[in-house]
Structure 1
Amino acid sequence: MGGPAWPPSRFWQYWALAGMVVLTAAFWWGVEGYAIFEARRHGQIAEGLLRFTLLILTPALVLAWLAAAWLRRRVGEAGYWQLLGLIAMIWTGSVLVTRILLR
């Protein structure tokens, strides 16, 4: 029986924890951002940033999380966490700026 080793490595344990945060945040912003977009009470800059975060950054965040095994082989464990952290920080900053512009 050549199944996966149990318990999973620390990388995959952290990956699962990160997934809870990433997927929850992406779902929240998808629902929240869509509701904001439908309200149509914002300027061109806020609308452009809102579209960018919804259509580009949110899928990029989820895809970077999903592609962990492939990216881990290419850039190593430390490189993967740096990449995921960088995308998460850009996503978070863009969401915060969008929320500030919409107030």
Structure 2
Amino acid sequence: MANLWPPTRFWQYWALAGMVILTAAFWWGVEGYALFEGGGPRGQIADGLLRFSLLILTPALLLVWLVAAWLRRRVGDMGYWQMLGLVAMIWAGAVLVTRMLAA
């Protein structure tokens, strides 16, 4: 049986990334929902972006983080980090633009 301890460097980085991702997703879930319930942002673009980021991008970010073992076997270590980084940047951009438009 393979030695499972200590975890490989990949899983150590994955756990660190998870702390950031889970915190950010929870924060945006609460903050975005409060924006939505508080009368919503002004304008169709801001409203659509808020809904898209809450309903599509946040679950996508969490899903890519959660299926790390499956994705790692298919795209390799670097491919996984690139995919996670791409989804995280799209998510962060949508959150930033939504907050700018809602202000």
Name the structure 1 match of 2:50: 50
Q: Distance in 2 between matches of 1:3 and 1:22?
A: 29
Amino acid in structure 1 at the alignment position of 2:71? L
Name the structure 2 match of 1:73: 73
Report how far residue 39 of structure 1 moved: 1.0
Name the structure 2 match of 1:16: 15
TM-score between the two structures when normalised by the length of structure 1: 0.95
Report how far residue 44 of structure 1 moved: 1.1
Report how far residue 40 of structure 1 moved: 1.6
Q: Which 5+ residue runs of structure 1 have no aligned equivalent? A: none
Name the structure 2 match of 1:27: 26
Q: Distance in 2 between matches of 1:67 and 1:100?
A: 31
Report the secondary structure of 1:7's partner residue. coil
Equivalenced residues, count: 102
Report how far residue 43 of structure 1 moved: 1.5
Q: Which 5+ residue runs of structure 2 have no aligned equivalent? A: none
Report how far residue 10 of structure 1 moved: 0.1
Amino acid in structure 2 at the alignment position of 1:101? L
* 4+ long deviations beyond 3 Å: none
Percent pairwise identity = 75
Amino acid in structure 2 at the alignment position of 1:45? I
Q: Distance in 1 between matches of 2:2 and 2:76?
A: 23
Q: Distance in 2 between matches of 1:57 and 1:3?
A: 36
Query: What is the root-mean-square deviation of aligned Cα atoms in Å?
Result: 1.1
Q: Distance in 1 between matches of 2:19 and 2:49?
A: 25
Listed one character per residue, the Cα deviations across residues 23-63 of structure 1 (whole Å, up to 9, x for unaligned) are 00000000000000001242111110000000000000000
